[in-house]
Structure 1
Amino acid sequence: MQLSQLQQGQEATITGFSELSNDVRKKLMVMGLLPNTAVKLIRTAPMGDPLQVEVRGVSLAVRTNIADSILVEAK
């Protein structure tokens, strides 16, 4: 399942990444989006981009095309 497929308020665990350049992957990891980390979708912007997610108590905005490449396992 992809991070962008979560419903508002749904929690999941990041399992990995697909189709991301090394630079983007490193930036995500610096922001705390690491494998085996809990993530919660707070809300989606009215036009669908970006997504607001909470990771380790921090709220982040993630573009939908990047969220499509973050693999998660829903809880």
Structure 2
Amino acid sequence: MSIMLKEMKAGDQGRVQGFAAGGQAYRRKLLAMGLTPGVEFLVVRVAPMGDPVEVRVRGTSVSLRKDEAATLNVERMP
């Protein structure tokens, strides 16, 4: 089941499924940061208003703004 990254809470683990339609402006940036389809990540923390979201992917912490996070379709891992 695909959800949006912004729906996840701190401590949740997930896997990138792909990108939302119309997110071309952020797609290249997210790919460069290592958020490629199939990669697993951990949500480290979410700011009180939901912006930014810090995720750990490939051993690196990455902070994503709400608009960037909204372009990622992810799967929650158990």
TM-based fold match above 0.5? yes
Q: CA deviation at 1:47?
A: 3.0
Unaligned runs of 5+ in 1: none
Q: Which amino acid aligns with 1:48?
A: G
Is structure 2 residue 67 aligned with structure 1 residue 65?
yes
Q: Which amino acid aligns with 1:54?
A: R
Instruction: Name the structure 2 match of 1:20.
Output: 23
- How far apart, in 2, do the equivalents of 1:69 and 1:24 lie? 7
Moved over 3 A (4+): none
Q: CA deviation at 1:66?
A: 1.4
Unaligned runs of 5+ in 2: none
Number of equivalent positions: 74
Q: Which amino acid aligns with 1:67?
A: A
With structure 2 as the length reference, what TM-score do the two structures score? 0.87
CA shift digits 1:13-35 (9 cap, x unpaired): 000001212x4211110110000
